[in-house]
Amino acid sequence: MMLREFVDEVASYRRTITVFAPAPDETLERYFETRNVTVEHEPLPDDGSGGFVVVTRDGEFVGSLARSAVREFVSPGEVGFGPNEGVRLPMNLLADTTFVSFDRRKLLAATREIEDRAYRQGRGTLRSGFQTLSRFATERDRYESIASKSDLDVHAYARPDRTTAQSISETENATVHAEEAEEIAAHWFVVFDGGGDDRQACALLAEEVASGPNSFRGFWTYDAELVGDIDAYLRESYGEE
């Protein structure tokens, strides 16, 4: 088992995204351009709303949302910082669909949403992959404050680079896993087990793709079973200490 296999598994879910709008939406089509998500366009008379986006799985309705809200989220550029409706709603709609071209800024917005859940829940286990220790160093103060919730067990994973394991060892509340494994350097992840409440479980997992720097392929999920599997994989592969 490898982290990448979780991404491949979710990529095998058959999802159809139908964009109901007066004209085809190329921004949305580009975002979902993967072999496992089918994007369709259905023409709609122009009533000024801009239309909506429907997600189906094997023909079953999963959910829908105003196209304007989805578009804002997937378009390159600014999203509001911190957890907000502009992030939460599209994340809910698009859970378990694989993305192919997220940049760091978007990934960070989605990540904050999950970290915020863990913080509000205040118990359970949060495991975050930062790729390199240097990147963890820049997030460290924030993670110290998340880990200050005494019933929240926080684990950070990263490969040593110019920042060494020694220089980071005095992190008080979080367990830092300095790992040489290739997949730790290649994957951005944040996994929260829900702290005993399955409805709070969520995970984001993304692999940096070689084709472009700062470009990621992956997914996020609210499926407690899948979250549990990723959590167990990290615990078993990299230990608890």
Partner 1 sequence: MVEDRPDGPAESVSELFDALRRSNCRYALYYLQDRETATLAELATVVASWTQARAADPEIVTPEDRQRVMVSLHHADLPALEDAGLVRYDFDSKTVTAESLPEMADAILEKSLVYERLADREPDHSDRRESGNEKEPNDE
Residues that bind partner 1 (CB under 8 A): 20, 43-52, 54, 60-69, 85, 89, 92-93, 199-200
Going from the C-alpha of 144 to that of each of 153, 201, 238, the distances in angstroms are: 11, 21, 21
Closer residue to partner 1, CB minimum distance, 216 or 220: 220
Q: Report CA-CA distances (Å) from 64 to 19, 90, 91, 92, 199.
A: 10, 9, 12, 10, 20
DSSP 76: S
Beta carbon nearer to partner 1, 95 or 184: 95
Q: Judged by CB, which is closer to partner 1: 15, or 187?
A: 15
Is 85 or 241 the residue whose CB approaches partner 1 more closely? 85
Amino acid at 78: E
Min dist. Cβ of residue 9 to partner 1 (A): 23
d(CA 97, CA 105): 19
CB of 68 to partner 1, least distance (A): 8
Closest separation between CB of residue 135 and partner 1, Å? 29
Work out how close the CB of 183 gets to partner 1 at its nearest, in angstroms, rounded to a whole number: 31
Instruction: State CA 240 to chain mean position distance.
Output: 22
